[in-house]
Amino acid sequence: MGKITNMIKKDFTVASRDRMMSIVFFYSIILAFVIRMFVPTVEGTQVKFAIHEDVGEEVIMQIEEFGEVTVFEDVEDVSERVQRVDSVAGVVMDGGKLQLVFEGNEPEGFIETNKIIINEITLPTIPIPISIDYRATDEKGSILMDLLTVVLVAIATYMGGLIAGFTIVDDRETKTTRAIVVSPLSVYQYIISKYASALFVGLFGTLGATVILMGGSVDYVEVMLIMFFSSTMVVAMGVFIGTYAENQMGSLVLQKVTGWMYMIVPILSFFVGERWQVVLYPLPTYWQTMMIRNVYMAGEQKFDFWFSGTMTFISGLLLLIIVLNAFRKKVRI
């Protein structure tokens, strides 16, 4: 145990002296501050309407004075537009009355703003008050915040693997890995030390970002379990970088490649229809995304937290076994 502890201390000493690693350590927390400061402002400045043509040309012209308008021939097209990732209010006729259509997870201020705008239209044929229809969940939140939160938590976990990868590359450059062959520290103890470092860095970033974005509105035991279930995949990413990067410059190149591979699945999960998501099932990042959505997003998700977490851990473990085999052959230890 002491050998592993010494290796972990050595990794954090190296990280503290390297500016790039120091930025990586606090990256997710810095990004969480940026999201918290600017996202509400961005959402609040955009007023868009998806309107069914039966509403009438005169009403549409009045609404155009307040925001951007897109007219649709089919009510279902209005509903589909409303349920995309950005915040758009739908306007349709229902039983001779105007009806505002929302997905249901838009910010409360956005909904109130659109109610005020519609109530400003004073045509005698339009009854007041305007009825409201939610096409998804009754929980109010922010679509953009949901997307950014899921991606940010995934980034926070990935940072642990990135630190592990950078330190493995540093060990190769300083010949530390060669010394393992003749030292009492086994290759498994070496990987465990990287595993522990990645777990700590990822947990630090995940908890810090969650506090900034969510406060006390989530279960922090589940937040910590996210990092535990993700740890096998995260370490696999780190070992992959450490295996194939010959130096720190090479590790930066691989970081960009693995980073995009790691981030694309959480983003796609918001845009790809459920029946097409089966294509993503073999990827550990898909199950991690489903797990994160269970913790941070309101409403029932496609898969529950424990199933998603277990699948994340198992698929990540299979990936880690493959990468470790390549690591031993490449580094020859």
DSSP codes, 100-138? EEE-S-S-HHHHHHHHHHHHT---TTS-SSPEEEESS-S
Instruction: Say how many residues make up the chain.
Output: 333
What one-letter code names the amino acid at 9? K
Same domain, 222 and 127: no
Q: Please report, for the domain that includes residue 117, its CATH number.
A: 3.40.1710.10
Same domain, 123 and 240: no
Lowest mean pLDDT among 210-224, 250-264, 282-296: 250-264
Angle, helix 143-173 to helix 2-17, in steps of 10 degrees: 110
Same domain, 64 and 210: no
Q: What is the DSSP letter of 12?
A: H
Q: What is the average pLDDT score of the chain?
A: 80
CB 126 within 8 A of CB 98: yes
Identify the bridge partners of residue 48 per DSSP, sorted by sequence position: 68
Q: Does the pTM exceed 0.85? A: no
Same domain, 12 and 119: no
Neighbours of 304 (CB within 10 A): 12
How far apart, in Å, are the Cα atoms of 15 and each of 160, 169, 323? 12, 12, 23
pLDDT of residue 228: 94
SS3 219: coil
Same domain, 71 and 175: no
Extract the tokens encoding 292: 């994160």
pLDDT of residue 223: 93
Same domain, 152 and 114: no
Same domain, 63 and 30: no
* Of 274 and 164, more confident: 164
Residue 107 above 70 pLDDT?
no
Same domain, 240 and 113: no
**Spatial distance between the Cα atoms of 190 and 166, rounded to a whole number of angstroms:** 14
CB 64 within 8 A of CB 73: no
Same domain, 306 and 327: yes
CB 71 within 8 A of CB 51: yes
CB 321 within 8 A of CB 162: no
Domain tally, the chain: 2
pLDDT of residue 16: 67
Domain containing 62 equals 47-85+88-134
In degrees, rounded to 5, the angle at the alpha carbon of residue 321 between the alpha carbons of residues 165 and 202 is: 40
User: How far from chain centre, in Å, is Cα 126?
Assistant: 42
Domain-ending residue, one of 115, 134, 153: 134
| Furthest C-alpha separation in the chain | 89
Same domain, 247 and 292: yes
pLDDT band at 227 (very low <50, low <70, confident <90, very high): very high
pLDDT of residue 42: 45
Domain-ending residue, one of 106, 134, 162: 134
How far apart, in Å, are the Cα atoms of 104 and each of 51, 108, 139? 17, 9, 6
Same domain, 255 and 109: no
Same domain, 105 and 164: no
